[in-house]
A and B are shown apart, each in its own frame.
Chain A
């Protein structure tokens, strides 16, 4: 178990170093920063001085090492657009994105599993067919279109929910939260549904097909033969056996939710990292782009690690096992 965790951690560090290399390359390949900062008309002397000042005359690997050391401390330099530390910008924006992703993920997981179980158990009913048809729409429609449709219906036509922004937030230390105000919660609903809908339908379909498969197994039949109640059979025995693939997909999709929050945040003008990133791309704000890249990679790596550990918790067959089957 410990060896497994250490091995996984080592792999995670390798992944982060590789992503760091790509982020680092951004600085070199997205235009020459010296030209960018001094303009076309600078003298060669000015350029040389600037190059030395920025440390760009040093060998590639020294620059990369410096970048890694600073990145590990969260330092990605100044935003070229806002002339403020990237770290500060990210910290300002991180809570908005994480709260949105969390609610979207929760929505996807809870509603997805509930609908998946329902459509598996009531296979023939017309409600199941309706859910499946709706889920097909959820899978097929692009996120921005769903967001715009939701805004049209619930914000413009019905006027129930706000069409943009985060509402009022409460500051808890450096973290700003929308969970504690009515307007903050109302503002979360539409973006969270937009962001989580695709994942929700994915989880619903996955849970449904896994459930149908598990319900055909011998141990489910035997559980029924033992006279267990339907709810014990369905939830205690069947649902638990569908969890390993569901955890895998949910984990990967949670990373995707954070990464693809960009589109939802743009549609709803949500003041999160995705919006920050889009603005940075428009402006070729390389430090912000690099920081965003590294941070997103970090989320993926952490989520994957957690998923691997959850397998262990759910499936005893994966646990390292010194007991040999006795005859």
Chain B
């Protein structure tokens, strides 16, 4: 855990989806912090609850989804229970967001300049002319060539990679302290992915912006993150510094995850894989959610849910480490 006072603190977050038959728990008792300027990678399979955690932080859970318990604090102040209007002022101004698909994130009917100026004017007390200047420098900063010409172009006149750069410019337009990036590279070509990741890293470093980087791509995490949170079935499985998570994972799920990544120079014919699949939200087993697939399962795992225990340099939600690792 980093020692600096956290910029963002999530405590015991629980996100529920009430349905007609029963209430589904999509994020269950998740706690973590992000320090100023830190990049926290959040990994997990589809449906592990990582995007929902991000949406819950920026207050954009789609109904009927709702925060049922826990709290989200920004610089010590609770933001999860703020009135709609106050939360809106925080979005964009203090917490920016980047979504997965740059092709659909921009409104097709407005030029990128109009969308940038609109965002700046919403949050900052500047004149229209200043906002445009700012938009130009933002476009230059995210690496759009010839911003003076491109600013009056419409989204469809840009390629996917360029559009994601515009989305990033929009996310940082009002200089937020935190950016929630939800799968920012998933929809892009591999060659473009590297550029976008480099850009994100550079912006975070230059501006001191903290980033919550949600992805299922361990390569992106390895390259970018300072710390990593591994999620499984709506719960935090393990959290710790990126080096330790990758080289010395403790939680059996993280261990399996790391072994299933192909490595150059590895001569094995088959990739290791974790038997079975992640449980659906309707059928999460008692005890540890991972226990049916766990090679090291013992009796306690099927009975009681483990909390996060210190395990070497990381903290893992696994009974193997209940004695202090």
Seen from chain A, the residues whose Cβ lies within 8 Å of a Cβ on chain B are 217-219, 221-230, 232, 236-237, 240-241, 314-317, 321, 323, 325-327
Contacts and interface: CB of A to CB of B under 8 A. Distances in A.
B312 interface: no
B249 interface: no
Given A218-B105, A219-B107, A317-B156, 20 more contacts: A217-B104, A221-B99, A222-B170, A224-B60, A224-B91, A225-B58, A225-B92, A225-B96, A225-B171, A227-B89, A227-B92, A228-B118, A229-B122, A316-B109, A316-B111, A316-B154, A325-B156, A326-B145, A326-B158, A327-B162
A227 B107 contact: no
Interface of B: 58, 60, 88-93, 96-97, 99, 101, 104-111, 118-119, 122-123, 145, 153-154, 156-159, 161-162, 167, 170-171, 173-174
Kindly list the 9 A-B residue pairs having the minimum CB-CB distance in the complex, ordered from nearest. A227-B92, A225-B97, A227-B91, A218-B104, A226-B92, A316-B154, A222-B105, A219-B107, A327-B159
Contacts of B104: 217-219
Given A218-B101, A326-B145, A226 B107 contact: no
B99 A225 contact: yes
A225 B91 contact: yes
A237 B115 CA distance: 10
Contacts of A217: 104
A223 B110 CA distance: 12
Contacts of A317: 108, 154, 156
A327 B119 CA distance: 25
If over half of A's interface residues share one DSSP class (helix, strand or loop), that class is named, otherwise mixed; here it is: helix
A40 B109 CA distance: 67
Contacts, number: 92
Contacts of B119: 226-228
25 contacts: A217-B104, A218-B101, A219-B104, A219-B105, A222-B106, A225-B91, A225-B171, A226-B96, A226-B119, A227-B89, A227-B92, A227-B93, A227-B174, A228-B88, A228-B92, A228-B122, A229-B88, A237-B107, A237-B110, A241-B109, A316-B109, A316-B111, A317-B154, A317-B156, A323-B153
A221 B60 contact: yes
B123 A218 contact: no
Contact of B162 (A224, A229, A232, A326): A326
A310 to B, nearest CB: 13
Contacts of A223: 107
Given A317-B154, A317-B156, A225 B60 contact: yes
Nearest to A223: B107
A226 B91 contact: yes
Nearest to A222: B105
Contacts of A219: 104-108
Nearest to B114: A236
Contact of B97 (A222, A228, A232, A326): A222
A321 B106 contact: no
Contacts of B156: 316-317, 325
Contacts of A230: 88
Nearest to B149: A323
Contacts of B108: 219, 241, 315-317
A236 B119 CA distance: 13
Contacts of B106: 219, 222
Nearest to B94: A227
Contacts of A226: 91-92, 96-97, 119, 122, 170-171, 173
A237 B108 CA distance: 9
A241 B106 CA distance: 12
